[in-house]
Amino acid sequence: MIDKIFHTDILEQLRKPADAIRRGYIIAFLLITSITVANFFIIQQMIKSQESVDRLIEVATHQRAHFLQVTHVMDAALRSTQFHNKNSQLKQTTQQRLKQLSNKIKINQNIIEQEFKHYNATPSFLSSKLNTNATIQTLDTLSSRTQSLLKKMDQLSKLNIGMMQWRFSLWAPIELELAKEGMLIHAIEDIHTVLHDESFANEKKLIAVHNILFAVVLGTLFSVLLLVFKPLLKQLNFAHKQADDRNRQLKHHAIHDYLTGISNRLHLHNTFALIREKQTQQQYGVMMIDLDHFKTINDVVGYLAGDHILKIIVDRIRKLAPEPDNLFRIGGDEFIYLDSLYQEPEALTLIANQFINTVNEPILFESEYLHISCSIGLTAVVISNIQENEVLKQVDFSLRAAKKAGSGSVVFYQPKGNSEEKQITRLAHALNNGEIVPYYQPIVNLKTHKIIGVEALARWQCPEKGLLYPADFIPLLEKNSMLDLLTDKILMAVGNDYKSCLAAEVDLGFIGVNLPENILTNRHLPEYLKSRLDDTHLDWLLIEVLENVLLHSPTGLISNINQLRTMGVKVALDDFGTGYASLSHLRNFPCNKIKIDKSFTADLLLDSSAALITKGIIDMGHGLGMEVVIEGIETQEQLDFFKPWPMLTGQGMYFSEAVPLPELIEKLKQQLTT
């Protein structure tokens, strides 16, 4: 979870500058694109203006050429003797040629006038206008003289061939207009000169505008780089630096415990691997430290107190440890300490006892002193010659032996038979993988045979051996101090199964569970039950207390039972008649039910004293206002014995063996239909 949070944080730190750079790129792209498009249109317009000037120059050149051609045609015609001799064919050719030149001059003049108008309409910031007074006057002169020339040429071309020699008055004005010193030739040459000057000026301006726009683009790029990308790159570099720091933190957290700051199980695994790589034959001392009843503190005082205790204890152990960095947290309340300075078992045991003493010191939490102890298992191995799992198995085995010996114990690993070790390992695997589950034996009304409740009984669904009963594994759990773990697993499963019955809409009545003596007498029993059953309303729960527990711990037990009864929890005295509880114990014990041990049921038809005692217990229980449950009913004859007592309830193979939850739910559904 922590790794995901850090990873998300790193991505967020990188995303912000990356998004800003992306926006910067878009802005820069749009800005440069706009400038480039503007550059393109401006230069395109200037090129068009230059093309217009070039066309004017070309047309003006052609116009001047046409004027000269008219002069040549006239000179040739006047000097020809054939013309004076009334050669009609020559006259006709001259007229046709003048008509053609007249049309071309007229077309060119129109082009010149239109191009000038179009050119002068060009935006002033792109080019110089050809609309100065001198230019306009020259253009007007050219236009008027050209029109006069065209009029005279038109008149000359319309004369009859026979009349042309008498109309010499038309030839002279035309020649005068087209003379080198004439105003028409001067006008066209002035226009030609102005156009050349404009073309040269446009060329220079085009180069200047191009340079300016190029400078603007470069300036924009530099500005974007300086004002946009440089800060963004700084921000990105800063984000990368933060990401590197976060990455280092991630690597640190990957191999260190987040709460205490010491190395974790992964770091321990890496340490073992590193030692094996070195192939050293050095012997290491290995110590497994487990805090006693730490779960109870978490459940009762709260996780904040538990975290506080862990940090204080780690700090204390590190101050005492010869190699503080060799302390690893491998579980909620379990630690491994590697002693690379190991010399002999006695020295390692001395260090372990020092750890125990410092853990035993009171811990202040919110103005209250909390007390906790620990148990330690030890072993010494050459890590290069043994697998990591085997090392942990050895030290775990010695730890269980230490816990069995009592809080504050230290046990050095002593190899046992492989068979028992394998059984313990297999049993631990079964507990952690949900192979040991509650089965439920119905408790029925002996008159109606209706199910009114059930008793939860542990069963081991062993893949290798099939269904195993408590006698097959409870003794081994007790021997290795694992009974509390079994109780935890069964209670959590019972809480879930009760919710499943509610979801299936069947009336389960109550569920009876057996609890070990150390849990029944723990002053935090109510909070423990609520946390394990994941429920605050426990009116469906029946706690079964063995008779000998009542004899061993009456004071603490009765106090807890009274608290449970205020919560609606029912209490039964289990296997009554097999112990030595007196009537005074029974009178003072706040229970709801008495469960008569199945040994009386088995013997009541064979032994008159057993029948007499059974009758006496029933009458005594009813007299004290308690319900009586008969255990171990297996035959019809046994059931018939109890007919005189209509209020009795019972359980046994006659009614049903203990069954898994789905089968129980099916029985309850069938009961609803009958």
Name, of 140-154, 354-368, 577-591, the range with top average pLDDT: 354-368
440 and 577 share one domain: yes
Helix (H) or strand (E) holding 466: strand 466-468
Q: Tokens 């081994």 belong to which residue?
A: 476
Query: Are 83 and 77 contacting, i.e. CB atoms less than 8 angstroms apart?
Result: yes
Domain edge (last residue) among 231, 257, 278: 231
**Lookup: tokens for 15:** 């995303």
24 and 153 share one domain: yes
647 and 595 share one domain: yes
Closest CA to 535 of 501, 573, 571, 507: 501
347 and 453 share one domain: no
| Sign of the four-CA dihedral 599, 602, 608, 612 | positive
Residue 243 has pLDDT above 80, yes or no: no
409 and 454 share one domain: no
**Domain span holding position 383:** 265-416
Residue 111 has pLDDT above 70, yes or no: yes
pLDDT tens across 197-231, in order?
Answer: 777 777 777 777 778 877 877 777 777 777 766 77
Closest CA to 440 of 216, 655, 213, 638: 655
- Residue range 446-467: mean pLDDT, rounded: 92
Domain edge (last residue) among 366, 383, 416: 416
Query: Are 595 and 572 contacting, i.e. CB atoms less than 8 angstroms apart?
Result: yes
What's the pLDDT band for 160 if we cut at 50, 70, 90? low
376 and 438 share one domain: no
Q: Look at residue 4 and tell me if it is in a domain.
A: yes
Task: Name the percent of the chain lying above pLDDT 70.
Answer: 84
Mean pLDDT of the chain: 81
Residue 161 has pLDDT above 80, yes or no: no
Residue 417 has pLDDT above 70, yes or no: no
Q: Look at residue 80 and tell me if it is in a domain.
A: yes
pLDDT tens across 27-84, in order?
Answer: 777 777 777 777 777 777 777 777 777 787 888 788 888 878 887 777 766 665 444 4
Task: Name the percent of the chain lying above pLDDT 90.
Answer: 25
Q: Look at residue 310 and tell me if it is in a domain.
A: yes
The DSSP output letter for 227 is I
Residue 429's pLDDT is 86
Q: Look at residue 428 and tell me if it is in a domain.
A: no
Residue spans of alpha helices (H) in 553-607:
554-566, 583-588, 598-603
Q: Look at residue 532 and tell me if it is in a domain.
A: no
353 and 448 share one domain: no
Q: Look at residue 482 and tell me if it is in a domain.
A: yes
Query: Are 242 and 13 contacting, i.e. CB atoms less than 8 angstroms apart?
Result: yes
Domain edge (last residue) among 231, 251, 281: 231
What's the pLDDT band for 107 if we cut at 50, 70, 90? confident
Q: Look at residue 252 and tell me if it is in a domain.
A: no
Question: Where residue 453 sits, what CATH number does that domain have?
Answer: 3.20.20.450
pLDDT tens across 249-303, in order?
Answer: 778 788 888 899 999 999 999 998 888 888 778 889 999 999 988 887 887 788 8
Question: Where residue 161 sits, what CATH number does that domain have?
Answer: 1.20.120
196 and 277 share one domain: no
Residue 126 has pLDDT above 60, yes or no: no
**Lookup: tokens for 493:** 């499963």
507 φ, ψ (degrees, to nearest 5): -90, 105
| 323-360 residues labelled b (16+ CB within 10 A) or e (exposed) | eeebbbbbeebbbbbbbeebeeeeebbebbeebbebbe
Residue 83's pLDDT is 47
**Lookup: tokens for 281:** 């034959």
Secondary structure of 248-307 in HEC code, one letter for each residue: HHHHHHHCECCCCCCEEHHHHHHHHHHHHHHCCCCCEEEEEEEECCHHHHHHHCCHHHHH
**Lookup: tokens for 186:** 């001067």
326 and 188 share one domain: no
32 and 77 share one domain: yes
CA angle 57, 61, 67 (to 5 degrees): 145
406 and 455 share one domain: no
Residue 324's pLDDT is 92
Q: Please spell the DSSP secondary structure of 171-205, one letter per residue.
A: HHHHHHHTSTTSHHHHHHHHHHHHHHHHHHHHHHH
Q: Look at residue 246 and tell me if it is in a domain.
A: no
Alpha-carbon span 580 to 583, nearest angstrom: 10
Question: Where residue 340 sits, what CATH number does that domain have?
Answer: 3.30.70.270
Residue 166's pLDDT is 41
Q: CA dist 249 to 2, 261, 328, Å?
A: 11, 12, 18
Q: CA dist 508 to 451, 487, 523, 539, 670, Å?
A: 8, 21, 29, 12, 13
Looking at the 3D structure of the chain, how many domains does it have? 3
Query: Are 309 and 329 contacting, i.e. CB atoms less than 8 angstroms apart?
Result: no
What's the pLDDT band for 640 if we cut at 50, 70, 90? very high
617 and 589 share one domain: yes
Query: Are 301 and 295 contacting, i.e. CB atoms less than 8 angstroms apart?
Result: no
Taking each helix axis from N to C end, the angle separating 133-158 and 183-224, rounded to the nearest 10 degrees, works out to: 140
Report the DSSP pairing between strands 570-576 and 541-546. Answer: parallel
Query: Are 18 and 237 contacting, i.e. CB atoms less than 8 angstroms apart?
Result: no
